[in-house]
Amino acid sequence: MSLIVQKFGGTSVADTEKIRAAARKAIRAQKAGHRVVMVVSAMGKNTDTLLDLASQISDEPPAREMDMLLSTGEQVSVALVAMAIHSMGSKAVSLTGGQIGLKTDNSFSKARIQSIDTGRIERLLDAGNIVVAAGFQGIDDDLNITTLGRGGSDTTAVALAAVLGADACEINTDVDGVYTTDPRLLAEARRVDVISYDEMLELASLGAGVMHSRSIEFAKKFEVPIHVRSSFSDQDGTMIVAQPESETAPVSGAALTRDEARVTVLGVPDVPGMSQKIFSAIAAQKVAVDMVVQNVGTSGKADVSFTVAGGELKKTLAALEGILDSLGADGVTHDDQVSKVSVVGLGMAHQKAVAASMFRALAEANVNIHMITTSEIKISCLVPRDQANEALRAVHEAFSLDQRPSDAKTWNEIKASNAKEADVADVVARLQNDALEALTLTDISIVPAQARVTLDGVPDQVGVAADMFEQIGEAGIFVDMIVQGYDGEDGSTSVSFTVEQADLDAAQKVAREICGKHSMRDVRGASGITKLSVSGIGLRSHTQVGTVLFEQLASAGINVEMIATSELQVNVVIQSDQAGDAATRLKQAFAEALH
């Protein structure tokens, strides 16, 4: 008999009528012949209400007590859902995270799942019950209640689907699928039939709140297909699976992170270990750093810019205050009125000028780009917050995201052409060997023979990045990483990009033309550099990857020239003669996580 996991988010159990509707949906699935496990979140905005209550009692409530408090939201809803099912004449049992044997580590408020004991769920299902499990919560080795982080019920659902070998993991929510961008922000957003794990992972971590990014890490690792659909209808929604909807579209989705803050540490001595010092001081405050751009300095000094969530700015500035003297840096500037617009697509990895199209779209909307970072399947631009919506609309339109690509496939078409289904034995073996959410790295690799071009004194004006990368694209040069930082001194910025070493002369020639046209300060080129990449799943949420990488390189005296991070890869650019040593050290440091 097939087993399905049905997750209902807070918006889908916001009141008693919605709770009844969720109960009816589960009963329908059971009557259709499935074994049904429901995973339920706290009603409506109840988690926010609990957070607010805590803040009225204390500025810094103990993390353990916070999790004890927040877990009660889900306890209320599972009990009510089970009651609703009973009242409709079917059998149901509600269970807390502890009662489903969901063991986590002890990082309160962001606990990671280690194991789930399926015995009790299986017995209850055998006895004809619908099992109603509380999302978002677990217990640690000392039986303390832990929570998985905001939005964590998705992760509970996908984890349960994996360990129970479910046929489907349904995410029932208040939208009828995954859209090309948040449909609340843009009416022209299009619902997609299929989206790949990698694209969804990036979109979720960039602000597409429809899914918790860690649940996608889980789904990818254990090959769980996810079906995102409306709680309020039986229409099919969006399948999140290994394959993308289209093989040719360069971009499949766009996202907006509205509340960002930019921080720049000015005049950091350009010697190994400085970035590590900065980022470990911030990591010690448990603040996640997002876009990172290090401008390669001309006078032995560099400016290091990065973004953090707006709410973390105060903590970040305080952490930097403590290390400024020991860094020998000149000072810190910040801007708390910025937002990040990103585009994501598997297709962009093989296509030229995707970045240039995004920059042009922003220029035409008269949006100035403060910072740029790219990685293999995403491009992010930091823009003024008061233009954030226009910026999102402009890039959505530029990539025709409102229209179905001509080669788009449905899930049934993809399934029919799949050579093989997931190997169940392989998945089960991995489930037994790993702590479920342990870090998984797939590769540590180097791309040698790269070169860097840096333009200094780039005027911080609308349209400059678009001009630059269009001209480089027209010259037939494939650009890999692009970073645009922030100098903070005279309102100008620096832009660096990498190309194949063989293209360096041609790229510098174009760069010099652009430099003249836009009255920039200088063009510098460097060859003999290598891109070193650590690949895996969910690398931004496993923040230790960046920390260990920087520590290892710093202790070997290796200077990091450029950085690009994504959910799939952490990339650094270093001198080629140090690349072998760097790769060996990283393989040793990450031996346990490499698969």
Ligand X SMILES: Nc1ncnc2c1ncn2[C@@H]1O[C@H](COP(=O)(O)OP(=O)(O)O)[C@@H](O)[C@H]1O
DSSP bridge pairs for 269: 301
User: Which does residue 245 touch among ligand X, ligand PHD, none (CB within 5 to 8 A, set by kind)?
Assistant: none
> CA 522, 524, 526: angle at the middle one, nearest 5?
175
User: Which does residue 150 touch among ligand X, ligand PHD, none (CB within 5 to 8 A, set by kind)?
Assistant: ligand PHD
Residue with tokens 């949420």: 541
Q: In the bound complex, what is the minimum distance in angstroms from residue 184's beta carbon to ligand X? A: 4
Q: In the bound complex, what is the minimum distance in angstroms from residue 206's beta carbon to ligand PHD? A: 17
Nearer to ligand X, 13 or 124 (CB): 13
Burial of 38: CB neighbours in 10 Å, binned 0-12, 13-18, 19+: buried
Q: Does 73 bind ligand PHD (CB under 6 A)?
A: yes
Nearer to ligand PHD, 53 or 88 (CB): 53
Q: What is the DSSP letter of 26?
A: H
Nearer to ligand PHD, 146 or 559 (CB): 146
Please choose, out of 150-158, 306-314, 410-418, 533-541, the segment that lies near ligand PHD by the rule CB under 6 A: 150-158
Copy the structure tokens of residue 327.
């860094």
Residues 2-31 that bind ligand X (CB under 6 A): 9-12
Q: Does 209 bind ligand X (CB under 6 A)?
A: yes
Q: In the bound complex, what is the minimum distance in angstroms from residue 230's beta carbon to ligand X? A: 10
Residues 246-305 that bind ligand PHD (CB under 6 A): none
544, 499 in Cβ contact below 8 A? no
What distance lies between CA 58 and its chain's CA centroid? Answer: 31
Q: Does 73 bind ligand X (CB under 6 A)?
A: no
Residue 352, SS3?
A: coil
Region class of 23: left (phi > 0), else alpha (psi between -120 and 50), else beta: alpha
Amino acid at 277: K
Q: Does 344 bind ligand X (CB under 6 A)?
A: no
Please choose, out of 85-93, 151-159, 517-525, 569-577, the segment that lies near ligand PHD by the rule CB under 6 A: 151-159
Paired sense of beta strands 3-8 and 168-173, if any:
parallel
Nearer to ligand X, 196 or 501 (CB): 196
Q: Does 464 bind ligand X (CB under 6 A)?
A: no
> CA 350, 221, 116: angle at the middle one, nearest 5?
165
Q: Does 150 bind ligand PHD (CB under 6 A)?
A: yes
Q: In the bound complex, what is the minimum distance in angstroms from residue 204's beta carbon to ligand PHD? A: 12
User: Which does residue 527 touch among ligand X, ligand PHD, none (CB within 5 to 8 A, set by kind)?
Assistant: none
Task: Choose, by CB under 6 A, the member of 26, 82, 208, 499 that binds ligand X.
Answer: 208
Q: Does 249 bind ligand X (CB under 6 A)?
A: no
Please provide the size of the chain in residues.
595
Within 8 A by CB and 6+ apart from 266, the residues are 303, 329, 330, 331, 332, 333, 487, 488, 489
Q: In the bound complex, what is the minimum distance in angstroms from residue 182's beta carbon to ligand X? A: 3
Paired sense of beta strands 168-173 and 226-230, if any:
parallel
Q: In the bound complex, what is the minimum distance in angstroms from residue 229's beta carbon to ligand X? A: 11
Q: Does 151 bind ligand PHD (CB under 6 A)?
A: yes
101, 119 in Cβ contact below 8 A? yes
Q: In the bound complex, what is the minimum distance in angstroms from residue 65's beta carbon to ligand PHD? A: 17
Copy the structure tokens of residue 563.
């950085």
Task: Choose, by CB under 6 A, the member of 146, 156, 173, 264 that binds ligand X.
Answer: 173
Please choose, out of 45-53, 206-214, 294-302, 553-561, the segment that lies near ligand X by the rule CB under 6 A: 206-214
Q: Site for ligand PHD (CB under 6 A): how many residues? A: 12
Q: Does 77 bind ligand PHD (CB under 6 A)?
A: no
Q: Does 179 bind ligand X (CB under 6 A)?
A: yes
Task: Choose, by CB under 6 A, the member of 41, 94, 484, 569 that binds ligand PHD.
Answer: 41
Q: What is the DSSP letter of 372?
A: E
Q: Does 174 bind ligand X (CB under 6 A)?
A: yes
Copy the structure tokens of residue 561.
């020239």
Task: Choose, by CB under 6 A, the member of 181, 243, 294, 493 that binds ligand X.
Answer: 181
Residue nearest to ligand PHD (CB): 10
DSSP sequence for 8-68: E-GGGGSSHHHHHHHHHHHHHHHHTT-EEEEEE--STTHHHHHHHHHHHH-SS--HHHHHH
Distance CA 329, CA 324 (A): 6
Q: Does 339 bind ligand X (CB under 6 A)?
A: no
Distance CA 391, CA 381 (A): 10
Q: What is the DSSP letter of 366?
A: T
User: Which does residue 182 touch among ligand PHD, ligand X, none (CB within 5 to 8 A, set by kind)?
Assistant: ligand X
Amino acid at 103: K
Q: Does 182 bind ligand X (CB under 6 A)?
A: yes
Strands (E), 186-252: 194-196, 226-230, 238-241
Nearer to ligand PHD, 151 or 225 (CB): 151
Please choose, out of 145-153, 335-343, 398-406, 501-509, the segment that lies near ligand PHD by the rule CB under 6 A: 145-153
Task: Choose, by CB under 6 A, the member of 14, 29, 42, 69 that binds ligand PHD.
Answer: 42
Q: In the bound complex, what is the minimum distance in angstroms from residue 492's beta carbon to ligand X? A: 35
Residue with tokens 């009651």: 83
Distance CA 116, CA 129 (A): 19
Q: Site for ligand X (CB under 6 A): how many residues? A: 17
542, 565 in Cβ contact below 8 A? no
> CA 55, 214, 81: angle at the middle one, nearest 5?
65
262, 335 in Cβ contact below 8 A? yes
Which parts of this chain interact with ligand PHD (CB under 6 A)? 9-10, 41-42, 47, 73, 135-136, 150-153
Q: Site residues (CB under 6 A) for ligand X?
A: 9-12, 41, 173-175, 178-179, 181-184, 208-210
